Structure 1
């Protein structure tokens, strides 16, 4: 089943965040793990029409011009000095989407996604999609436990309003 959790757990989902979760629910049968073995681009392709309807831009490929650069640092004359690429971005730039397939936990890609979202200018929320089951492991639960520890310990405070973890 589709699983999701907003961190911190002390606040509820906004209507905007619920719309994004609904997009995952609509395509769940096509992306659920372990039955489907789509890579992250395959999952994004299934989600694309629904996310675009709610004003998201979704990357179309891995080449320059197909990715979505989100500013991190600005230089002279407001030129972008540094940016990170995102899988998806709301039109207003406040919600960034990252969908991971096999590398979410194995390569700690979820940590890189969290770091990059925190550095992106204007981003308030990270939507992080991970497989429920990858090679017999529960990636959703592993990332959930990490985020739970991060938010409960309060030793590190993230500069974004929240992270929505979605397990597909």
Structure 2
């Protein structure tokens, strides 16, 4: 089952965010963590055509030319001096998508994704896709629940203000 949560809880997801959820729903049987243990790039490959139809630029490989670079800092003559990579980027919708697999929670990759999205120029929305359940060393880890609990706590505490307008967490 595909799960998703949108933050802040008081805001309605944008049309583009809802379209991203629908894109994941349409492809979900081919990468559901209930039946598959695909790496993040394989999951991205399943969803990439649908994201491209929505107007996203999508990473197509590991070579520099195949990556999606989003500016962070600008140097002399307006040249990009620092950029972070995203799995997918929708310029008009100001949304980046990150697809994670095994290290989403164990290695705190979702926090790195959050940090990088906050630093990216002209990004208002972040979508992070993680496994519903990550199994490792005989242990079942509820990654989706853990990421959602983190964001619920962060927003409820009201101690940290993010430059993002919304965060979508998808559990696949």
For structure 2, the 5+ residue unaligned runs are none
- The structure 1 residue matched to 2:161, chosen from 140, 144, 157, is 157
Matched residues in 1 for 2:34 and 2:15: separation?
A: 29
Show the counterpart of 2:57.
57
Show the counterpart of 1:71.
71
> Residue 76 of structure 1: CA displacement?
1.1
Contact 1:34-1:134 within 8 A present in 2 as well: no
Over the aligned positions, Cα root-mean-square deviation in angstroms equals 0.9
Q: Per the alignment, in what secondary structure is the counterpart of residue 65 of structure 1?
A: helix
Contact 2:16-2:93 within 8 A present in 1 as well: no
Q: Per the alignment, in what secondary structure is the counterpart of residue 64 of structure 2?
A: coil
> Residue 69 of structure 1: CA displacement?
0.6
For structure 1, the 5+ residue unaligned runs are none
TM-score by length of 1: 0.98
> Residue 61 of structure 1: CA displacement?
1.0
Q: Which string of whole-angstrom CA distances, capped at 9 and with x for unpartnered residues, describes residues 120-168 of structure 1?
A: 0000100000000101111000001101111110101110101100000
Show the counterpart of 1:166.
170
For residues 69-108 of structure 1, what are the structure 2 equivalents within 5 Å?
69-92=69-92, 94-108=94-108
TM-score by length of 2: 0.95
Q: Which string of whole-angstrom CA distances, capped at 9 and with x for unpartnered residues, describes residues 107-128 of structure 1?
A: 0000000000000000010000
Matched residues in 1 for 2:118 and 2:71: separation?
A: 11
Confirm whether residue 10 of structure 1 aligns to residue 14 of structure 2: no
Contact 1:93-1:122 within 8 A present in 2 as well: no
Contact 1:89-1:97 within 8 A present in 2 as well: yes
> Residue 34 of structure 1: CA displacement?
2.9
Matched residues in 1 for 2:64 and 2:156: separation?
A: 39
